[in-house]
Structure 1
Amino acid sequence: MQGLRGKVALIAGAAEGNIGAATAIRLAREGMHVVTADLNEANAKAVADEITAAGGSAVAKAFDITDETSYKELIEFTVDRFGGLHGLFNVAADLSARTMSRDTDVTSVPLDIWQHTIDVTLSGYMYGIRHALPIMMEQGTGSIVNTMSSVVWMGKDVAVSYQTAKSGLVGLTRHTATVGGKHGVRCNLISPGVILSKASLAATTEQFREETLASVRSTRLGVPDDLAGPVAFLFSDDSFYINGQSFLVDGGANFT
Structure 2
Amino acid sequence: MRGLNGKAGVIAGGGRGIGAATATRLAEEGAAVVIGDIQGEWAEATAQRIRDAGGKATGFALDICDPASVQAMVKTCLDTYGRLDYFHANAAGGTQGDIDALTIDLAVFDRSIELNLKSYLICTQAAVPVMLEQGGGAMLYTSSGAAYGGAPWQVAYPVAKNGVHALMRHVAARYGKQGIRANVVCPGLVLTEAAREHLNDEYMEAGLKRAASPRLGKPEDLAAMSAFLMSDDAEWITGQVISVNGGMAMRD
Counterpart residue identity of residue 78, structure 2: V
In the TM superposition, residue 100 of structure 1 has moved relative to its aligned partner by: 2.5
Structure 2: any 5+ residue segments left out of the alignment? none
**Does residue 1:111 correspond to 2:110, yes or no?**
no
**Does residue 1:221 correspond to 2:216, yes or no?**
yes
**Does residue 1:171 correspond to 2:170, yes or no?**
no
Counterpart residue identity of residue 135, structure 1: V
2:95–2:112 contact (8 Å) kept in structure 1: no
SS in 1 for 2:47: helix
**Does residue 1:140 correspond to 2:139, yes or no?**
no
Aligned to 2:9: 9
Aligned to 2:156: 161
Q: How does 1:122-137 map to 2 (within 5 A)?
A: 122-137=117-132
In the TM superposition, residue 225 of structure 1 has moved relative to its aligned partner by: 0.3
**Does residue 1:27 correspond to 2:22, yes or no?**
no
In the TM superposition, residue 159 of structure 1 has moved relative to its aligned partner by: 2.0
**Does residue 1:239 correspond to 2:234, yes or no?**
yes
Question: Separation in 2 of the partners of 1:21 and 1:4?
Answer: 17
Q: Which runs of 4+ in 1 moved over 6 A?
A: none
2:131–2:180 contact (8 Å) kept in structure 1: yes
Tell me which moved more, 180-189 or 99-108.
Answer: 99-108
Aligned to 2:61: 62
The TM-score normalised by the length of structure 2 is 0.97
Aligned to 1:77: 76
**Does residue 1:38 correspond to 2:33, yes or no?**
no
The TM-score normalised by the length of structure 1 is 0.96
Question: Separation in 2 of the partners of 1:68 and 1:9?
Answer: 17
Question: Separation in 1 of the partners of 2:77 and 2:109?
Answer: 31
SS in 2 for 1:108: coil
SS in 2 for 1:187: strand
Question: Separation in 1 of the partners of 2:90 and 2:83?
Answer: 20
> What is the total number of aligned residue pairs between the two structures?
251
